[in-house]
Structure formats: structure tokens, C-alpha cells
A = this chain, B = another copy of it.
Amino acid sequence: MPAERPRPTIADVAERAGVSKGLVSFALNGRPGVSPQTRDRILEVARELGWQPSLRARALSVNRAFALGLVITRDPEIITGDPFYPSFIAGVERELAPAGQALVLSVVPDEEAELAAYRKLVADRRVDGVFITDLRHDDARIELARELNVPAVTLGHPETPSPFPAVSMDDRAGIEAAVDHLVRLGHRRIAHVAGPARMLHGSRRRRAFEDAMARAGLPADLVVETDFRAADGARATRDLLAPPDAPTAIVYANDPMAIAGLGFAQRTGLRVPDDLSITGFDGSDVGEHLFPALSTVATEAAGWGAVAARVLLRSIAGEEPGDTDLPPARFVPRESTAPAPPSPPANG
């Protein structure tokens, strides 16, 4: 082990510059009340010495962590393949790095561990604020964050009253556009493979589907709820395609399920999109390279992350950012959607 050369502290700088520690601190932080000459001398000495601020010491004196917390709750199976979080995190970092903030990430298997993770993060004062993603109905995290007195930002509006700013993206628009597109293509039997009803975006996308169907004068009777996993997508597709009056189009609540659904359909000999149209959600880039290329709803997760980070930073700084609405999710038609096949002869 090479001996650790101890890092210079402001005391070293002060001594060498012949001033007090306090003055060094003022000069370094660009506070007013230091004459230009002494400031320059102090800065010069700091540079010579290779002084670097101790975040730890600052953290203790100003009572800040200079970090934001993200906890992701996913069973390990589902985490892979979902394009949302990697992009979201990249967007968050784009905002944090220049601000000198760090991201502390917690990945937990279930909701119990999730609450514990938030508690731990703020008990340890590891972060100055937290992201609340994947909102659920009656989400306990809103109350918890309030109780812990930690700044937070929610992705989307929680159902329960929330003191925290929300950064929302209208995903209804994307689902509706998908349904409208299919209806225009002549589809009448359209199914929806939904996310879990306990998740707000799961049930919201489902409601958007139902509303769009209602507007088109069609029954929304073909809906199956899932856990967002690829395997669920395959299973749901099997169940939907089994009956004689099977749908001619399926709207999936995420891309991995749509890809698995596509696989299942092809496996049974159905041609996509000739026999069956399919749409995904979230725009994984692999979907673009499938055959047929997956029609999907693009969500700009990175932009969402960047804005959420900015809002959280502002609310930590004591501002009251208010809610912000991102541009709505966009339907991206590709190859997996086509005109409905001619209806089979009505028999019976």
C-alpha cells in the first residue's frame, strides 16, 4: 500500500496564505467580503497545494448530502428488457453531474423492501431528495416521504393528495393514438394486455384503452391484466387468441410483452400484421429491428429523468416548482400494424 499522502485542508491553505480558515472558506465559496487581492492569493495557494474540498466536511456543516435517491422495485426477472429505467437514469445523470450531485440507487425486490429502502436512505441522510416512480394506487410512499420530511418528486400525479411536485407524461395519448390507428385500419376486435391494476400507469393505460374503444363504439371486453413481464405477454396472448372470436389486434402495455406476444403469435402460425396487429409501449430500440418492426408508443424516458431531476433539485433548494407536464407519449407506427383481415364468415 502506498502511504496516503494526506490531502491538504483549508487549514493548510490558510496557513500558507497567512489568513484565517474562515476567510479561506469565504474566498473559496465566492462569498462577498474578501478583498480581490487576498481572494486571488488564497485561490492561488489552494491551486498550488492541490486543495480539493471535502464533501464530507461540507455535508456535515451544511447538513446536505448533495445526492438524490432513486429506488427501483422490480423482481429481478422483469428488470431486464425494460428500456425505461436505463434511459431515465441516463437523463437524471445528465442533470446531476454538472450540478455536482450524485445519484444513489437502490434496487429492491418488493414493496416492503422498498419502504425500508426509503427510510434507510433518509435516516442515513444519504440523499437530499427522492424520486418516486412507478406510482401505485394508495401509494404508501407519498405518506412516508411526507412523514420523513424529505423532498420528493413523483413521476405522474399520485391519486392521494401529494405535497410533492409531479412531473407527468400523458401516456393516455399514446394508447389512444394506437387504438385510433387500429380502428382506422378497420379493426373491431381489439384487445389490451394491461399492466398490473395496482400500478397507476397500468390502470391508466387500461382506462385510456377502454375510453378510446368506447369512443369508437367498440366494446373493451378483451383485457387481460399482467405483471409487465415478457412471460406474461406470451401467456396473455395465448389466452386471447384461443377463443373463436379472437381479436385482430392487441395493444400491449409495454414492449417486452408485445415482443413476447409477437413471438407467440408467430409460433402459432399467425402472420403479423396480416392476421394480427400488435403495438407495444416504451419504445425499446430492439423492437425497431424485429420483423415486423414493432409499432409502439415512445416515451422519452431520458427527458423525463432530466426534468424530474431538475425539479427535485429546485425543490431541495427551497423553491416550489409546481407540476410540469411533458409532451405526451407519441404513437410510432411501424410494421406490426396493418389493415384488419377480412372478417371470417359469421357462422351460427
Enumerate chain A interface residues (CB-CB to B < 8 A): 2, 4, 52, 54-57, 59-60, 63, 65, 67, 74, 76-77, 79-83, 85-87, 89-90, 93, 97, 102-108, 117, 120-121, 123-126, 149, 229-231, 233-234, 256, 259-260, 262-264, 266-267, 284-286, 288-291, 293, 302
Contact = CB atoms under 8 A, between A and B. Distances in A.
A256 B291 contact: no
Contacts of A74: 90
Contact of A286 (B56, B259, B289, B293): B259
Nearest to A5: B149
B284 A80 contact: yes
Contact of A103 (B85, B93, B104, B229): B104
A80 B89 contact: no
Contacts of A121: 102
Given A54-B125, A284-B80, A259 B87 contact: no
Nearest to A53: B124
Number of copies: 2
B107 A105 contact: no
B123 A52 contact: yes
Nearest to A4: B149
17 contacts: A2-B149, A54-B60, A56-B59, A79-B87, A80-B286, A97-B117, A102-B126, A230-B285, A231-B285, A231-B289, A233-B289, A256-B286, A260-B289, A263-B290, A263-B293, A266-B291, A286-B286
A286 B230 contact: yes
A83 B80 contact: yes
A234 B81 contact: no
Nearest to A282: B80
Contacts of A93: 105-108
A317 B290 CA distance: 48
Nearest to A117: B97
Contacts of A76: 87, 90, 302
Given A93-B108, A104-B67, A285-B81, A124 B86 contact: no
A108 B260 CA distance: 31
Given A55-B124, A80-B83, A259-B286, 5 more contacts: A81-B83, A81-B286, A102-B126, A231-B288, A262-B291
Which of A65, A81, A117, A234 has the most B CB atoms < 10 Å from its CB?
A81
A55 B126 contact: yes
Given A256-B286, A259-B286, A264-B289, A107 B79 contact: no
A192 to B, nearest CB: 19
Contacts of A55: 124-126
A233 B77 CA distance: 24
Contacts of A264: 289, 291
B80 A107 contact: no
A234 B285 CA distance: 12
Nearest to A234: B289
A38 B226 CA distance: 55
Contact of A291 (B63, B125, B263): B263
A231 B87 CA distance: 17
B90 A86 contact: no
A198 to B, nearest CB: 22
Nearest to A86: B79
A253 B4 CA distance: 42
